[in-house]
Structure 1
Amino acid sequence: MTTATAAAPAEVYAGAPRRTVITRIVDRLGGGAVQVVMVLLGLFWLVPTLGLMVVSLRSVKVNSAEGWWTVFTKPAELTIQNYSNLLASGFTASFWNTVFITVPTTILVIGIAAMAAYAFAWMDFPGRDLGFLIVVGLLIVPIQIALIPVASFYGGVGIFGTIPGVVLFHVAFGLPFAIFLLRNFFVGIPSSLLEAARMDGASEVTIFIRVVFPLGKPAIASLGIFQFLWVWNDMLIALVFANPENQPMTKALQSQMRQFGSNVDILSSGAFLSLIIPLVLFFAFQRYFVQGMMAGSVK
């Protein structure tokens, strides 16, 4: 017994890892200090937004004479006249065009991608793996190579320059990433839940609506935020496929850049208006956004 014990390979106990100077500094800076630093970084990130808001609330004369930070000592200079001028310039139509482009695109991408992702994740059909590889391959296709062919096709069917044409283009190029993202999330759902639903007689549509879709809310919310921001801030597709009467805010602001020195009031108020809605959307759904980003990171 003693011989066998002596012949066995001895295990060396390494103990706790050695604490370096960097490790000790990180430990001492943990907790409240890190939170303070993160808050300061967040406030620093919001400085340009604050400056844009102040510029949009002051007259052109005041903005030309002094910096926006002087508002803290001269709050009486703030006015909403710039926004009145913005609405009088016809910017309201561009705002609603942006809404009519962004909202349908986001809804269509989420609906179509969710159903396709469920099929790729949990349904067995011929060509499933090949189809998913094609979807992944479409992720690397640049938008620019499709502008001329799609413009020619739109001209042939009579939807060039219309809002539906812009929406269809965004949907087509938003689906590959959306399907890829949701499929990778859906495969992480326990198969026992789906099997139990099938044993209870639920159809695939019922399983998708009552089981998969509710469990996929974090990923779907993240996708919705991404898609909304991409379409809301897009200018390339609007420049190519939107007529002046159907132009979104990005194209309307771009057309005002030629006279930047004389209409900074319209540009600043229009830019802040186009910025504030995505910010509100992000902060409203940030909980789901964080959950969607962390989904699948821990098994």
Structure 2
Amino acid sequence: MTSKTFKPAENRGSTHTWTVGRAVGEFILILAALSILIPVIWVFFASFKSKSEFYGNPWAMPNGLHWQNYVSAFQDAKLGQYFGTSVIVTVMALAIVLVVALPCAYVLARFDFPAKRIIQVGIQAGLFINVNYIVVPIFLMLTDGDKLLIDIFPNGFFINNVFILALVYAATSLPFTIFLLQDFFVTIPTTYEEAALLDGASQFTIMTRIFFPMAGPAISMSMLFNFLSYWNDYIIAQTLMPPSADIDRRTVQVGLLNLMQTQKAATDYGRLYAGMVIVMIPVLIFYALVQKKLLETSNMGGIK
């Protein structure tokens, strides 16, 4: 009796199907990229147009580089002042959330202690809280705090304070940041800790010299999401930083909305689009800086 070796039939249409699927996927990606890229390019070119050029063809290229739009938006509309406020608030909030979230995530990921599960559940529950829904209670709480300190700070301390705004940003983004970093720290093998302990390293040294550098991709991802959240926020900044007669510490998003309302009434769209470009530039720069780390995160996830 002769034994026969059976081979599965070749799927002749697999190559064709794969090629068509890839082409469809690339076509969809191209459409998605164009839907984002075309408006950005159009806003960029429109920011160099003079006031009279908007009454003709809106899709026409600008006749020249009308830099006065940027000067007017930066100085006359006080967008430069608001831009500086947003930079200060964003940098402080990112620093606070890093200082607090990194050691918290490390301890939750690498140590067992009583009430650990309760803390983890509390952090996960914080992921489902939309900060825009609790901005009014936060405002009322800070207002009550100003009433208690009115003898020490007659002009108020908690409201219209850039540090308090940064602190609120950092506090509301801690659940997401700790949750993301904790999941990354858990995946790091224990052999790194054991080798460092054998060499006489302390837990603080292991945390700062081994785990934090290895968590660079996860840190970059969390910082990107937090940066976008802080920089693009309008509701919290508008509520906690109200302009007064002697203090105007509005952030760039609040200032941009005021600029939009003013320039629409004055039909000066060139200065309006110049303000939009000014707001977009930091986001593009920050993404370019962390793009390499984000790609490392996606590659590691694919390998795992």
TM range (shorter): 0.7 to 0.9
Consecutive unaligned residues in structure 1, runs of 5 or more: 3-9
Displacement of 1:121 in angstroms is: 0.4
Quote the RMSD (CA, aligned, Å): 2.8
| Conservation of the 8 A alpha-carbon contact between 1:138 and 1:176 | yes
Q: Which position in structure 2 is the counterpart of 1:129?
A: 117
Letter in 1 for 2:67: I
Aligned to 2:199: 200
TM-score normalised per structure 2: 0.85
Does residue 244 of structure 2 align to residue 268 of structure 1?
Answer: no
- Could you tell me how far 1:25 is from its partner in structure 2? 4.0
1:39 shift after superposition: 6.0
In structure 2, give the amino acid aligned to 1:186: F
How does 1:79-228 map onto structure 2 within 5 Å?
79-89=66-76, 90-155=78-143, 156-157=145-146, 158-228=157-227
Shift of residue 40, structure 1, vs aligned partner: 7.1
Name 1:253's counterpart in structure 2: 256
Structure-2 separation of matches of 1:41 and 1:173: 31
Partner of 1:66: 57
1:235-271 CA-partner distances (Å, limit 9, x unpaired):
1111111132111110011123333142323321111
In the other structure, the counterpart of 1:284 is: 289
Report matched runs for 1:31-50 at 5 Å.
Answer: 42-50=33-41
Q: TM-score, normalised by structure 1?
A: 0.86
Would you say 1:53 and 2:44 are equivalent positions?
A: yes
Task: Read off the aligned partner of 2:209 and give its amino acid letter.
Answer: R
SS state of the match for residue 86, structure 2? helix
Q: Is the 8 A contact 1:110 1:223 kept in 2?
A: no
Gaps of 5+ in 2: 147-156
Give the C-alpha shift of residue 37 in structure 1: 8.0
SS of structure 1 residue aligned to 2:134 = helix
**Structure 2 letter corresponding to 1:54:** F
Q: What is the CA distance between 1:149 and its match in structure 2? A: 2.2
Q: Is the 8 A contact 1:219 1:295 kept in 2?
A: no
2:242 aligns to what? 243
Q: Deviations over 1:254-290 (max 9, x none)?
A: 1233331423233211111101210121123211112
- Does residue 26 of structure 1 match 2:31? no
Q: Give distance in 1, aligned partners of 2:126 and 2:31.
A: 40
Q: Counterpart amino acid of 2:219?
A: I
The alpha-carbon distance between structure 1 residues 295 and 116, as it changes in their structure 2 partners (threshold 3 A), is farther
How far, CA to CA, are the matches of 1:40 and 1:120 in structure 2? 42
CA shift in 2, pair 1:113/1:14, >3 Å? farther
Q: CA 1:122 to 1:29, structure 2 compared with 1: closer, same or farther past 3 Å? A: closer
Q: Secondary structure at the match of 1:189?
A: coil
1:7 matched residue in structure 2 = none
Per the TM alignment, residue 45 of structure 1 is displaced from its structure 2 partner at its CA by: 2.7
Does the C-alpha gap of structure 1 residues 16 and 176 become closer, same or farther in structure 2, counting only changes over 3 Å?
farther
- Deviation (angstroms), 1:205: 0.9
Q: Partners of 2:280 and 2:291 in 1: how far apart?
A: 16
Residue 229 of structure 1 aligns with an amino acid whose one-letter code is: L
2:94 and 2:226 in contact (8 A); partners too: yes
CA distance in 1, matches of 2:299, 2:225: 15
Comparing 287-296 with 134-143, greater Cα deviation is found at 287-296
Q: Deviations over 1:190-246 (max 9, x none)?
A: 111011112222111100111000100011111111111111111111111113211
Aligned residue pairs, count: 286
Cα-to-partner distance string for 1:138-182 (whole Å, 9 max, x where unaligned) = 110121342222212212143112111211111111000000000
Identity of aligned residues (%): 27
Q: Tell me which moved more, 59-68 or 212-221.
A: 59-68
